[in-house]
Amino acid sequence: MNKMNAFIEKISPLKVALLAGFVLVLGWSPLPTFPLLFVGIFLLLVLSEKLENESNRRFVWLFYIAHFIWNIGTTWWVYKASLGGAIFMIFANSLLQITPWVLHRFTRSVLGSSKSLILFICFYIGFEHFHHVWDLSWPWLTLGNSLGSAPIFAQFYEFTGVAGGSIWILLGGLALYSKWAKLKFMHPLIAIMVPAVISLFIFFIRDFDRGEPIQVGLVQPNFEPHDAKFDIDPLLQLDTMLQQMEKLAQQGATLMVLPETALVGGIDESIPSKDRKLYRLERFIEKHPGIAIMGGCDSYRIYSEKATATARQSRYDENMFYDQYNTGFYIDSLNLRPLYHKAKLVPGTEIMPYPGVFSFLDKVMSSLDGTVNSLGRDYITLNYYSGDSIAFTPSICYESIYGDWTAKFVRDGGNIISIMSNDGWWGQTYGYKQLLQYGQLRAIENRRWIARSGNTGISGVISPKGMLSKASTFWTRDAILATVYPRTELTMYTKLGDYINRILFLVCLFVIPSVIVKWYVNRKNKTKT
C-alpha cells in the first residue's frame, strides 16, 4: 500500500486522469471486474486533490479526459447503430459526468475536505437521478449498473435499487482515498466487504416462492437489423416466426414472446384489425386456443394537425401529420389488447431531446446518421392480464435500464416481466451483453421472473435472483421453451422506487444554494478585510 501511495503521489495529474479512465473501463461490465471501480473513484478523488491549486479550466479538462476514456472505452459500439448518436452521446455524456466532481471541488473550497467528501455522495447520486429523468437521459454508466456483471453481489438491490450499488462504489472509493489522505473515515475493508457479505447471505440463504408455472416460448428469428430486417418482406419474416411458434406450441408453450419490432411495416393504430400481420397472429391463436402472443412492432397515429411535438408532416399531404411509435402488443383469445408505446427512448437515435425546442437539430443528426424526427411516446404503464391473476409487464429494449420505470409496472400488478429487444444493432460487441446484464438487475429489484426475447439474442429466462438460464447464443435463430413463475410479493424497492435518488437529489437542491450563499458571504468578508 505504501509503495502504491508513493507511486500515486509522484505521477502527474494528467497520468492520474489517464489511469483513472482506463481503470473505469476495465471495471465495467460485461466483465465481472466491478471492484476496480473502487480504485477508479479513488483515483479521481486523488486527481481532485492534485488539482486543488490549479485552474478551473485545467480541472475540467483533465476530468473530461478521464470520463471521455471511460465513455468511449465502454460504449464505443453505439456507432454501429448510429454514428451521430454515438458521437453526440460520448462527447456530451463525458462532459455531463464531471458535474458532481465540479460541485465537489466548489464545495471543498468553501466547506473543507471532510464535509465535502460526505456531500460528494449526495452530488453524485443526485446527478445520476437527474440523468435518469431528463430528455438527455443516458444512464448506461450509472455506477450501480456495473454489478449486472456479478448479480450475486447485487442482491441488496431489492431494498435500494441501483443507487445502493452506486453508493457502495462511492463509499469504497472514498474509504481508499481517506486511507491515502490520512483522513478519519470508514475503513476500506468495512466499506467494501459489508455490502458484499449481505448480498452473499441473501443469495445463498433466501429462497423465493413460486406460483403456478407458465410455459413461455421465446422466439429469436435472427434477422440482420441494419439491412435484412427492413428489406425482407414483413410477411416472410412473420412466416419464419410462425414456424418457430408452431414448434413451441406443440411443446406446450402458452405465452409466446417475440422481440422488439418483430412486426415491421407499420401498423395503423386507427384500424389495427386491417393489418395482415396481426390478422395472421389472430389466426394462429384460433388454431391454438389458450395461447397468448406478446411482441414488438412499429405503429403510427395519423392527425389532421400537428397534435404533438413529435408529430411529423406527411410528404404527400401537407394537411396530414403522424406520430411513429416503437410499440408493444399483446394478442390472446380476446384478440388485440391496447398497444403499449415505448416511453424511454434513446436520445439521438429514437428521439431528439426536447423535440418541441430542438427540432431544428434533426437535420444535423440526420447528416450524422442519427434520428430523423423523433418517435412518439406515452408515459403510460400497461400490464397485459391473462385471466384474473397473471399480469405480464412489457419492457422494450432500452427501457430495461430504468429500474424506477419497471417498478411502476410491477407495483401496478405485474407478475412477470417480458423484455423485448433487438440487440443485433451493435453486432458482436459488449453492447448487447451489457444490456442483458442491466435487465438482470430488474429481476433482483422486483424479485420477478423475466422472459427475454431478442431478435438476434440474447434470449432467455432470468430468475428473481438475477441468474440467466435457457440462454440462446448470439446471432443464431432459436426457439426456446422455458418456465417462469408469477410472483405477487412486492419488494421494498418496488414499493418506493428510486427513493434514495430522490432524497439525495432534494438534499442537493438544498445544499448547493446554501454553499453558494456561504461562498458569497466569505468572499464579501474577504473583500472588506
pLDDT at 365 over 60: no
The mean pLDDT of the chain is 92
Residue 313: band (very low, low, confident or very high) from pLDDT cuts 50, 70, 90? confident
Residue 482: beta bridge partners?
Answer: 216
The strand ranges marked E within 34-132 are: none
pLDDT at 371 over 60: no
348 or 396: which leads in pLDDT: 396
Residue 240: band (very low, low, confident or very high) from pLDDT cuts 50, 70, 90? very high
Question: Do residues 235 and 158 share a domain?
Answer: no
- The answer to whether 458 and 429 are in contact (CB under 8 A) is no
**Which residues are CB-neighbours of 82 under 8 A, at least 6 positions away?**
348, 349, 368, 369, 370, 371
Is 351 inside a domain boundary? no
Question: Do residues 33 and 160 share a domain?
Answer: yes
Residue 3: band (very low, low, confident or very high) from pLDDT cuts 50, 70, 90? low
DSSP class of residue 42? H
Question: Do residues 190 and 218 share a domain?
Answer: no
341 or 227: which leads in pLDDT: 341
Secondary structure class of 228 (helix, strand, coil):
helix
Tell me the C-alpha distance between 217 and 381, whole Å: 24
Is 75 inside a domain boundary? yes
pLDDT at 362 over 60: no
Question: Do residues 187 and 255 share a domain?
Answer: no
Counting Cα atoms < 13 Å in the Cβ hemisphere of 526 gives 7
Tell me the C-alpha distance between 200 and 50, whole Å: 37
The 10 Å Cβ neighbour count of residue 77 is 17
Would you tell me the crossing angle of helices 162-181 and 36-50 to the nearest 10 degrees?
A: 50
Burial (CB < 10 A; 0-12, 13-18, 19+), residue 181, is: middle
Question: Do residues 518 and 452 share a domain?
Answer: no
Question: Do residues 133 and 255 share a domain?
Answer: no
- The answer to whether 478 and 220 are in contact (CB under 8 A) is yes
Residue 4: band (very low, low, confident or very high) from pLDDT cuts 50, 70, 90? low
Closest to 380 measured CA to CA, from 419, 416, 415, 344: 344
Tell me the C-alpha distance between 383 and 404, whole Å: 16
Q: Residue 154's Cα: distance from chain center in Å?
A: 16
pLDDT on residue 432: 94
Question: Amino acid identity of 374?
Answer: S
Q: What is the dihedral of CA 153, 154, 158, 161, to 10 degrees?
A: 150
- Separation in Å, CA 33 to CA 25, 36, 130: 10, 6, 27
User: What's the pLDDT tens digit per position in 245-303?
Assistant: 999 999 999 999 999 999 999 999 999 989 999 999 999 999 999 999 999 999 999 99
Residue 118: band (very low, low, confident or very high) from pLDDT cuts 50, 70, 90? confident
User: What's the pLDDT tens digit per position in 65-86?
Assistant: 999 999 999 999 999 888 888 8
Question: Do residues 90 and 149 share a domain?
Answer: yes
Question: Do residues 199 and 235 share a domain?
Answer: no
Tell me the C-alpha distance between 7 and 43, whole Å: 12
Question: Do residues 504 and 476 share a domain?
Answer: no
- Separation in Å, CA 485 to CA 309, 390, 401, 463: 41, 10, 22, 9
The grid cell for 434 is 451489457
Residue 373: band (very low, low, confident or very high) from pLDDT cuts 50, 70, 90? low
pLDDT on residue 185: 79
Is 320 inside a domain boundary? no
Question: Do residues 39 and 58 share a domain?
Answer: yes
Question: Do residues 389 and 466 share a domain?
Answer: yes
Tell me the C-alpha distance between 470 and 405, whole Å: 26
**Structural domain that includes position 386:** 214-264+287-298+381-496
pLDDT at 355 over 80: no
Is 164 inside a domain boundary? yes
pLDDT on residue 113: 81
Q: Residue 116's Cα: distance from chain center in Å?
A: 29
CA angle 518–524–528, rounded 5-degree value: 145
pLDDT on residue 401: 97
Secondary structure class of 468 (helix, strand, coil):
strand
The 10 Å Cβ neighbour count of residue 269 is 18
Name the helix (H) or strand (E) containing 517.
helix 499-528
User: What's the pLDDT tens digit per position in 123-174?
Assistant: 999 999 999 999 889 999 999 999 999 999 999 999 999 999 999 999 999 9
pLDDT at 115 over 70: yes
The residue-averaged pLDDT of 423-440 equals 92
Distance from first CA to last CA of the chain, Å, rounded? 45
Number of domains in the chain: 2
The residue-averaged pLDDT of 353-365 equals 63
How many helices (DSSP H) and strands (DSSP E) are in the chain? 19, 15
Tell me the C-alpha distance between 529 and 525, whole Å: 6
Closest to 420 measured CA to CA, from 294, 259, 297, 218: 259
Is 508 inside a domain boundary? yes
pLDDT on residue 120: 96
> Three-class SS string for 135-157?
CCCCHHHCHHHHHHHCHHHCCCH
6 or 247: which leads in pLDDT: 247
% of the chain exceeding 90 in pLDDT? 76
User: What's the pLDDT tens digit per position in 10-32?
Assistant: 899 999 999 999 999 999 999 99
Question: Do residues 513 and 388 share a domain?
Answer: no
